[in-house]
Amino acid sequence: MTTAKIIFLSTLLTFLASKCGAFVLSPGRSCFFPKTALSLIQSKFFQLEEMEDKETCTTEVFLSKDNTVAVGETNGPLFVDAAGTWEESTNGSFKMTVTRKYGSGQPGTDMGEFSFDVERSFIGELSETGGKTSVTGSVNSFDDVMGERKVGYFSMIDTTNDRLGDEEE
């Protein structure tokens, strides 16, 4: 086999593995390259749209390689602090938990200042929409009396290229 053929086959196999995940090498012989969703979502910026009750808000999130979530700007209720974690499985399911700390009250009043945390779990499925990675699913809340319950829906779409500039252009 010539060097040109080896380079061509190597390039073809790499392309097929990245686009298809599985392909047939020859009749009776196939090869599967698991295409994990992890490579599609780690170290990426996402626009998170939350729909809870009749309220909708959009928040920027960054999914770090270490499975932590950095929470950015929002057009929803302003929080004092926010952090979270994320995980995904090889079958394309996704879970993200975000805890936001809110503050209220005023110093020097009878009520004083206080803060409270609100934790939400976002459970959904990864997909590709318009060439961009996206996640859709349900927003869940946990409480000691009611347990875990669905309180809304969410969608996330990869905005990394929009935010950082598309290097391919």
Report the alpha-carbon distance of residue 152 to residue 141 in Å, rounded: 9
In the prediction, which pLDDT does 27 show? 45
What count of other Cβ atoms lies within 10 Å of the Cβ of residue 156? 26
- How many CA atoms, within 13 angstroms, populate the side-chain half-sphere of residue 144? 0
In the prediction, which pLDDT does 1 show? 65
- Six-digit token string for 14: 């790499």
Each residue's pLDDT, cut to its tens digit, for the chain (169 residues) gives 666 666 665 665 555 555 444 444 444 444 444 444 446 899 999 999 999 988 999 999 999 999 999 999 999 999 999 999 999 988 889 999 999 999 887 766 666 778 899 999 999 999 988 889 999 999 999 888 888 899 999 999 999 988 887 554 4
CA 12 vs CA 7, 23, 46, 137: distances in Å: 9, 11, 31, 35
Please state the pTM of the whole predicted model. 0.71
In the prediction, which pLDDT does 156 show? 97
Query: 97 near 120, Cβ under 8 Å?
Result: yes
Report the alpha-carbon distance of residue 52 to residue 45 in Å, rounded: 22
Q: Where are the beta strands (DSSP E) in the chain?
A: 22-26, 29-32, 44-52, 55-63, 68-74, 81-88, 93-105, 113-129, 132-143, 147-158
The sign of the CA dihedral 158, 93, 40, 16 is: negative
Domain at 38-164, CATH from 2.40.128, 3.90.1570, 3.40.50, 3.30.70: 2.40.128
Report the alpha-carbon distance of residue 66 to residue 86 in Å, rounded: 9
In the prediction, which pLDDT does 21 show? 45
Give the list of residues 6+ apart from residue 3 with CB closer than 8 angstroms, or none: none
In the prediction, which pLDDT does 100 show? 97
Q: Residue 85 forms beta bridges with which residues?
A: 68, 97
Q: Give the domain ranges of the chain.
A: 3-32, 38-164
